Every structure is written in structure tokens, then in C-alpha cells.
Amino acid sequence: MTDLPAEHRLDSTLDLMGEGYLYIGNRCQTHASPIFRARILFENTLCLRGAEAAKLFYNTETCRRAGAAPMRLQKTLFGVGGVQGLDDEAHRHRKAMFMDLMSPEGIDALVNRVNTEWQRALTRWETMAEVHLFKECQFILCRAVCAWAGVPLPEADLERRTHQLAAMIDGAGAVGPRHWQARRSRDDAENWIGKLVEKVRRTPEDYEESREQSALIRFSLHRDEHGELLPIRVVAVEILNVLRPTLAVSRYMVFIAHALHCWPETRPDVDDDDAIHRFVQEVRRYYPFFPVAAARLRHDVEWQGYTLPGGTRLLLDLYGTNHDPDGWEAPETFDPERFRHREVDAWQLIPQGGGDHHVNHRCPGEWITIRLMEETIRRLDAMHWTVPEQDLAIDLSEIPALPDSGMILREVHPRH
């Protein structure tokens, strides 16, 4: 890997953890290059950012996922054996199982459930001195997505299950107690869902009629590309791959409220669907969420004048690509209007991955996320709320990031 700009430290993992979302972008800036080499987690790694880098990263002829994600992330965030680590035919087949959930009717059904839960919560918020928006949105989403996915959730278990799903996200990038908490949460949640899968499989005939409706039933009875049922643990991992990230939309809900509060002049007219959409796109571009995605080169590749050796791990900077000065004018300014005259292609705005949803590892929940964010703007507009003094700073060295306060609202009540 001669010639490639390189970090000459023995290992840069501590720098990465210290600088968080900014690590790759800072180095690309210093090296004046969209790519550099560093040792991360004691392995030679190529760090990349920008639309051209995303095209390389999402080329399935060039890159694979098997063996790319560190085990500590699989044991917390993704789960072992899930769609994230698959390639080629096995990936496309498994991915179709997720994409089948994303019909317009399926998405509407989830959005309606979330709206109903929000309305219910609002009557409670009216009686509360303060509303912790992040926590409240997590409960709303947990109830709604479990019902949507066909996963029974007794009210008495709501708090515990919400914390478990949240801990998998919260502790994924952490070391020490938060990491171990995330592992315990995953084990416990996989056991919980695994028992439900066994129940469906014991008497599948009871579920044939409702098969279309729920991820629990569809995934439990899904057959892989060889016609085999998936191992129970893998089904549990995949059902959690629906529940956990839907709960994570709570972070974007907080970011929506944060942006509406911080830049009131950019507030969209709620009767203008396009303006709402532009605002959501800018929140997804501007705010930090997933920092990077990982893959491995299948073979040696010539790219931008460099020879990149086969087998090397690639880290694509998702946050940095959304803030790449070569791709975005004034990237550090929050400005929904930038989307007014701009077509969004598959490589520049990549908070949920790039490329094609069916073929690549791009997030199958992207439409759900966008719809739920759009609804959040409408729900917040239909409420009166004030923002008391609090720490709204977002620390970009913390992964995953959130305003320190979790966004506290006061004087919440319906507007009409």
C-alpha cells in the first residue's frame, strides 16, 4: 500500500474513539485525500469518505461483508448470523425478506400505530411538568413496532424491553460496563424472541392466515435460498433487526425537535409536504447517527491512482460523506433549502447506507424512518411546547450522539 496517505501510529483506535464522528473527516482534510490508511483495532484499515468512495464500497464485485464487522459489534448491535454479514445470493434472498415488509400499506400501518401511541402519550404529557422527549419516543416506538411486528408485549414488560433494545444501540460502540450491558441485553432479547419463534413453528397452521401481517410470523416461517427454515437464533436476530432500529428512530425524533428549536427560521410549513421532506432530509444529512460502515476488498483494486490490496478492511465514513465539502456547499450549515433544487442520488446522502436497497446493504428501514420523521414534524406542530434551559450541545466524540439533556420539553399540550 505504498503511496497511500497513512497514519503512522502503531494503532489509531484511541484516536478514533476520541474524535468519534470527526475522525475520518479530520484526517481526509489533513491528508487532502478521500482515502488514507490507518491501523484500527490492530488491523490495516482503509478509511474513505465521499460519493466516489461510496461507489467503490457498495460495488458488490469489489467488496464483501463477511468478516468485516468487528465481533464486539456483532455481539451487541447486529447479532450473529444476521443479514448485515451476508453476501451475494444469501444476502439478496435474506434482504428480500425485509423488503417484503416495506410495502406502502405495511409502512402506513406502522406509521398509524406510532401516531396513535403519540396521541395517547400526549394526554399524559399534558399532566407532566417536564417531558423527556427521547425516553418518551422510545416507549412510543417500542409499543408500536412490537404490535406491528406481531411481537406480544405486555404493558408490565414495556420498560424492560425498551431499555434492552435501547442498550444494544447505546452500548455498541462503548467499552467496559456499557458494552457488557449491551451484550446481556442482546442475549436476553434473543431468548425472548426465540421462544416466540418456537411457538409459531410448533403450530404453523395456526398462523398461515396472519402470515402477511407480521415480521414474527413471516420470518419464523421464512425459507432460505436452499428451502431451509432459518435457525431460531438467526430468526430472533432478524426480528430484533426490525425492533431495535425502529426504536432508534427516537434519536431522529429528538433531532427534529432540536432542529426546530435551534433554527426556527427553517421550520417548514406543515401544509407543504415537500418542505417537510426537505427538512427531514437535512436532519438526516446534518445530524450524527451511524458513523461508519465496514466491508472488505474481495481482491486487489485500482482506485484513484492507488492499488488497494485484496482482503483489506474498508471503513466508509457515512457521517463524513454527508458533510463532505466536495459534495455539499457549506456542509456545517443546517439548511433544508439545499434540497429544493437538488436530486438526491444514491451516493452522497448516506446516513442509512448507499446504493440499492435490494442489492446492497443499504437500510431497508429508510422509508419507515423518513415517514416517521415527517410525522414527527406534524405531531410537534400540533402541540404547544417550550424548551427550558438545558444542555442541548451534541458532542461529536460520543457515539451514538444525542443532545446531552435528551431534549426536555415543558408546557406540553395540544394546540387545537
Chain residues binding ligand HEM by CB under 6 A are: 83-84, 95, 98, 241-242, 245-246, 248-249, 252, 289-290, 293, 318, 351-353, 361-365, 368-369
Pairing between β-strand 43-48 and β-strand 313-317 as defined by DSSP bridges: parallel
Kindly tell me which of 241 and 405 has the beta carbon lying closer to ligand HEM: 241
Nearest approach in angstroms of CB 169 to ligand HEM is: 9
Residue type, 227: G
User: Where would I find the beta strands (DSSP E) of 102-169?
Assistant: 130-132
By beta carbon distance, the residue nearest ligand HEM is 365
CB atoms closer than 10 angstroms to residue 314: 23
Identity of residue 386: T
Three-state DSSP at 145 gives helix
Closest to ligand HEM by CB, 185 or 352: 352
CB closer to ligand HEM, 142 vs 249:
249
Half-sphere CA count of 371, side-chain side, radius 13 A: 19
Our CB check for ligand HEM shows the closer of 66 and 382 to be 66
Closest to ligand HEM by CB, 181 or 376:
376
Least distance between ligand HEM and beta carbon 143 (Å) = 15
Select 5 or 67, whichever has its Cβ closest to ligand HEM. 67
Nearer CB in complex with ligand HEM: 285/361: 361
Compute the least distance from the CB of residue 411 to ligand HEM, in Å.
28
Contact residues for 350 (Cβ-Cβ < 8 A; gap 6+):
54, 316, 318, 321, 322
Side by side, which strands form the sheet with 43-48?
35-40, 43-48, 313-317, 292-297, 63-64
Closest distance to ligand HEM from the beta carbon of 126 (Å):
27
CB of 252: closest distance to ligand HEM in angstroms?
Answer: 6
CA angle 33, 34, 37 (to 5 degrees): 80
Least CB distance from residue 107 to ligand HEM, whole Å?
9
Phi, psi (rounded to 5 degrees) for 312:
-70, 145
Residue 7, C-alpha cell as written in the block: 497514519
> What is the rounded CA–CA span in Å between residue 120 and residue 136?
11
Residue 398 burial (CB < 10 Å; 0-12/13-18/19+)? middle
Question: Closest approach of Cβ 315 to ligand HEM, in Å?
Answer: 11
Closest CB to ligand HEM among 274 and 356?
356
Comparison of 68 and 412: residue with beta carbon closer to ligand HEM: 68
Closest distance to ligand HEM from the beta carbon of 363 (Å): 3
Task: Find the helix or strand (DSSP H, E) in which 221 lies.
Answer: helix 215-221
CB of 305 to ligand HEM, least distance (A): 25
CB of 231 to ligand HEM, least distance (A): 17
Ramachandran category for residue 40: left, alpha or beta (phi over 0 → left; psi -120 to 50 → alpha): beta
Nearer to ligand HEM, 107 or 174 (CB): 107
CB 277 within 8 A of CB 337: no
